[in-house]
């Protein structure tokens, strides 16, 4: 059994429906879901604001199986990969995978774990901290509390993440 932290986001179409499709697709594997936040797009491409959340899930999947599931959900939401960091109906990123409580590391042609940019993105750290206050992420070989990573970001980056009144509904939260 592995545990995964997924960062999900959408800035095209029915953003909430796209985010909800992730929970629907994971079903009873979902163990927790953060509040929904709105953030400006990241990466320098002119586009609309994103809705973002973090989903925690457990299943008998290896890291590449989790990645395959993430891509299936993006494809089902008709995600098009035309522009790096461009607008998307659905973005599902694996932030980290744990097996037996230990962080799994992967660095190959298709997957890097932990996610190489998660520590620098308030739109990942804020919702993750909301759902798992004691979470840690390994950065440069050092397990670091997510709260510490968030505190180290530029205040403007942190201030750009706004909690919304929207909520996602898992089928079953264990």
Half-sphere exposure for 166 (CA within 13 Å, toward CB): 19
Q: CATH code at 100?
A: 3.30.70.560
Q: Which of 12, 16, 7, 30 is nearest to 116 (CA)?
A: 7
Average pLDDT, the chain: 91
For residue 86, the enclosing domain spans 2-163
Please check whether residue 129 lies inside any domain of the structure: yes
| pLDDT tens, position by position, 103-126 | 999 999 999 999 999 999 999 999
Q: Could you tell me which residues come within 8 angstroms of residue 68 by beta carbon, excluding any fewer than 6 positions away?
A: none
Q: Which of 151, 84, 139 is nearest to 115 (CA)?
A: 139
pLDDT at residue 89 greater than cutoff 70: yes
Please check whether residue 76 lies inside any domain of the structure: yes
Please check whether residue 168 lies inside any domain of the structure: no
How many domains is the chain partitioned into structurally? 1
Please check whether residue 173 lies inside any domain of the structure: no
Please check whether residue 135 lies inside any domain of the structure: yes
Residues in the chain: 174
Contact predicate 48/11, CB 8 Å = yes
Whether this prediction's pTM lies above 0.85 is answered by yes
Please check whether residue 149 lies inside any domain of the structure: yes
Q: Which of 100, 103, 108 is nearest to 139 (CA)?
A: 103
pLDDT value at position 84?
58
pLDDT value at position 116?
92
Please check whether residue 169 lies inside any domain of the structure: no
Please check whether residue 37 lies inside any domain of the structure: yes
């Amino acid at each position: 059994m592995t545990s995964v932290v997924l960062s999900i986001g959408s800035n095209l179409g029915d953003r909430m429906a796209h985010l909800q499709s992730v929970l629907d697709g994971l079903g009873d594997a979902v163990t927790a879901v953060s509040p929904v936040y709105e953030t400006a797009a990241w990466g320098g491409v002119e586009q609309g604001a994103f809705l973002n959340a973090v989903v925690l899930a457990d299943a008998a999947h290896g890291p590449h199986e989790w990645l395959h599931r993430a891509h299936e959900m993006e494809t089902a939401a008709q995600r098009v990969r035309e522009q790096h960091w461009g607008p998307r109906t659905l973005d599902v990123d694996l932030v980290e995978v744990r097996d037996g409580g230990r962080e799994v590391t992967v660095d190959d042609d298709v997957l890097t774990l932990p996610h190489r940019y998660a520590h620098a993105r308030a739109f990942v750290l804020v919702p993750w901290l909301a759902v798992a206050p004691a979470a840690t992420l390994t950065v440069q070989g050092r397990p670091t509390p997510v709260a510490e990573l968030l505190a180290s970001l530029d205040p403007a980056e942190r201030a750009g993440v706004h909690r919304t009144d929207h909520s996602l509904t898992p089928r079953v939260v264990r």
